[in-house]
C-alpha cells in the first residue's frame, strides 16, 4: 500500500485557479474608477468655477438688486441665469475680472457686464452695467471713477 492513498490533496485557491482573468479585470477596474473620478472632479471643479457664486459676481448682483431702476424692469429678486462669460484671473490677493452674466427676475431677463480689479483681497468695480433684454436699454450702475 502506498503512503499517499489516504492523504487529502489540498485544493488550489480561488486566485490560483482564476488569476488569468481576475488580475487584468482588477487592474482595469481600478484604472477605470480612477479615470471616472478624475473626470467627475474636473466637471465639478469647472462647474463651480464657471457657475459658482464667486465673489465678483455675487457682490455685483447684490448691487444690482439694490438699484431701483433695474428692479422695476426685471422684478425682485434678480439672480444669475446661466453661465457667465469672460475672464477672471486672481493671484494671491489681487486680480482682474471682465465678465458678462445673464440675469433673470420675475418680470424679465437681461445681461450684466462687470469689470473689476481685486486689490488687497477686495473687488473694486470699475463698471457694472445691465442690458435689459426686452428693451435693449443699458443701465449703468457704476462707471469708472
The share of the chain scoring above pLDDT 90, in percent, equals 26
| 19-28 confidence digits (pLDDT tens) | 899 889 989 9
At residue 77, what are phi and psi to the nearest 5 degrees?
-85, 155
Which three-class secondary structure state does DSSP give residue 109?
strand
One domain for residues 44 and 91: no
One domain for residues 100 and 138: yes
Q: Domain range spanning residue 72?
A: 54-142
Q: Considering the chain, what is the average pLDDT of its residues?
A: 84
One domain for residues 37 and 77: no
Confidence of residue 9 (pLDDT cuts 50, 70, 90): confident
Q: Assess if residue 8 is contained within a domain.
A: no
Whether 40 contacts 73, CB under 8 Å:
no
| 65-81 confidence digits (pLDDT tens) | 988 989 998 888 998 88
| 13-72 confidence digits (pLDDT tens) | 888 888 899 889 989 999 999 999 999 888 877 665 555 446 788 888 888 998 898 999
One domain for residues 59 and 38: no
Cell numbers for 60: 455685483
Provide mean pLDDT across the span 88-93: 84
One domain for residues 112 and 124: yes
Whether 65 contacts 80, CB under 8 Å:
no
Q: What is the dihedral of CA 100, 66, 134, 131, to 10 degrees?
A: -30
Burial class (CB in 10 A: 0-12, 13-18, 19+), 71: middle
One domain for residues 86 and 19: no
| Partners of 111 in the β-ladder | 102, 131
pLDDT for position 28? 92
Q: Assess if residue 4 is contained within a domain.
A: no
One domain for residues 37 and 90: no
One domain for residues 91 and 38: no
Q: Assess if residue 115 is contained within a domain.
A: yes
Site of grid cell 473694486:
124
One domain for residues 64 and 128: yes
* Alpha-helix residue ranges (DSSP H) falling in the chain: 14-51, 55-65, 68-74
Amino acid at each position: 500500500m502506498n503512503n499517499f492513498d489516504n492523504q487529502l490533496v489540498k485544493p488550489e485557491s480561488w486566485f490560483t485557479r482564476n488569476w488569468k482573468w481576475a488580475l487584468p479585470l482588477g487592474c482595469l477596474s481600478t484604472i477605470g474608477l480612477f479615470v471616472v473620478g478624475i473626470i467627475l472632479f474636473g466637471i465639478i471643479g469647472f462647474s463651480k468655477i464657471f457657475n459658482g457664486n464667486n465673489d465678483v459676481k455675487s457682490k455685483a448682483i447684490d448691487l444690482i438688486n439694490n438699484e431701483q431702476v433695474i428692479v422695476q424692469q426685471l422684478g425682485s429678486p434678480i439672480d444669475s441665469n446661466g453661465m457667465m462669460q469672460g475672464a477672471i484671473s486672481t493671484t494671491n490677493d489681487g486680480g482682474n475680472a471682465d465678465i458678462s452674466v445673464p440675469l433673470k427676475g420675475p418680470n424679465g431677463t437681461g445681461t450684466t457686464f462687470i469689470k473689476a480689479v481685486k486689490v488687497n483681497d477686495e473687488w473694486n468695480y470699475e463698471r457694472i452695467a445691465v442690458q435689459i433684454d426686452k428693451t435693449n436699454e443699458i443701465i449703468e450702475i457704476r462707471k469708472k471713477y
